Amino acid sequence: MTVTEEKTSKTSAFDVYALRKEFPILSETVYGKPLVYLDNAATTQKPQAVIDTLVRYYTTINANIHRGVHRLSVLATREHENARKTVQKFINAKGSEEIVFVRGCTEAINLVADSWGRQNIHAGDEILITHMEHHSNIVPWQLLCERTGASIKVVPVSDSGELIFEEYEKLLSPKTKIVGITHLSSALGTINPIEKYIKLAHDAGAKVLIDGAQSVPHIKVDVQALDCDFFAFSGHKVYGPTGIGVLYGKREILEAMPPYQGGGDMISSVTFEKTLYNALPYKFEAGTPHIEGAIGLGSAIDWLESVGIDAVAAHEHDLLEYATSKLLEIDGLKIYGEAKEKGAIISFTLEGIHPHDIGTILDQDGVAIRTGHHCVQPLMDRYCIPATARASLACYNTHEEIDALAKSILKVIEVFS
């Protein structure tokens, strides 16, 4: 154990080595080398507790939900709805009817753009997003603009990777109907001070959607305290299964919105003449949902809360500081994203070496990072770069893994020198 890890574990009772044992995949080797998994912003690995939940679901209670009277259907329905309550408590929503299960953060934003947007956005209206948004918080709004004649305005980002609040103030106007803003940037690591952005948007009469895909695994989220109108995130980035995500919406807003998709479960009655829709949240959950995904997400949240999100955040912050200073010692390495408030994401380039080459050579050492535009092409354009290499950390990463990353980067430089 390094001195820092000893310090972290003493101050927060956080034992990263014990925690790692809960993740079977972390003992895998890649080309005979220990896996160093640093691609957590893309997806997190799953603890045994979540894997066990999925196996238990399929081996003991698998059934379709909401419409069966038989025992298994009742059990599966109960667990599915309990998972909804777990999510509700996790983000402190007022009611579980405000938690809509969707495929992921992307679908959550599409649902809002499609349903809320169809009802509330008209020609001449403006949708305000930021220069650091993921494509999933850009393209759904573009599709909406194409349909309605509305337009998109963009809050600029400073050289250090922070949103420029004064520009936001200028861009907000009575035409602004909704603000879409990421809580934690997937490429820069910036943690945006969303409270003040939400307050100002509300003062201007606009709704606010927060993209919480990257924040939820690392920051305690309280949607009531934030007072956001919508909050979106994906299960697979918070130690849960893929194919499940959450749209939180304030009850009165969701109630006023038309359904997003039609089909079974989202109705209360159907005739050929007229269909009456189901109550919240089922109005937005057409068809058989991802039952085991929701239950697995509930299990992931229970697991994360048992570890303690504050302890996770402290450990990751410690790792981020260590990694930042270690990588900055490397000649020719430039870090993109130097905000004062940062999550454990480090995007970097090496002078004269394409990020894909960095990723490929690191992979040979068992070090998994992400390279490319990270689905934030406008942000890459802002910094006049085609791509970066990105190391993104999670609760199970260690200082030794950061050392392995740095060592492997030095090897890349050697290969290209």
Ligand X SMILES: Cc1ncc(COP(=O)(O)O)c(C=O)c1O
Residues that bind ligand X (CB under 6 A): 41, 104-106, 134, 136-137, 182, 186, 211, 213-214, 234
Quick one: 125 or 161, whose CB is closer to ligand X? Answer: 161
Q: How far is the CB of 395 from ligand X (least distance, A)?
A: 17
Question: Which residue is catalytic, options 105, 375, 384, 395?
Answer: 375
Of 135, 242, 250, 152, the residue nearest 187 (C-alpha): 135
What residues contact residue 294 under an 8 Å CB cut-off, 6+ apart? 80, 83, 84, 101, 244
CB of 203 to ligand X, least distance (A): 25
* DSSP conformational letter for 389: E
Rounded-to-integer distance, Cα 363 and Cα 380, Å: 23
By beta-carbon proximity to ligand X, the closer residue of 44 and 137 is: 137
Instruction: Report the Cα–Cα distance between both ends of the chain, in Å, rounded.
Output: 34
Minimum distance between the CB of residue 372 and ligand X, rounded to whole angstroms? 11
Compute the least distance from the CB of residue 97 to ligand X, in Å.
23
Give residue 308's Cα distance to chain centre: 18
* Strand boundaries in 113-251, DSSP class E: 126-130, 151-155, 176-182, 207-211, 230-234, 245-249
Task: Compute the distance between CA of residue 154 and CA of residue 215 in angstroms, rounded to an integer.
Answer: 21
375 in active site = yes
Nearer to ligand X, 105 or 201 (CB): 105
CB of 5 to ligand X, least distance (A): 27
Nearer to ligand X, 103 or 399 (CB): 103
* DSSP conformational letter for 282: G
Tell whether omega for the bond before 34 is within 30 degrees of 0, i.e. cis: no
The Cα-based distances of 117 to 62, 132, 133, 147 in angstroms read: 36, 22, 18, 10
Residue (44 or 53) nearer to ligand X, CB? 44
Beta-bridge partners for 346? 391
User: Please, what is the minimum distance in Å from the beta carbon of residue 103 to ligand X?
Assistant: 7
CB 367 within 8 Å of CB 392: no
Which CB, 46 or 399, lies closer to ligand X? 46
Question: Which active-site residues does the annotation give?
Answer: 375
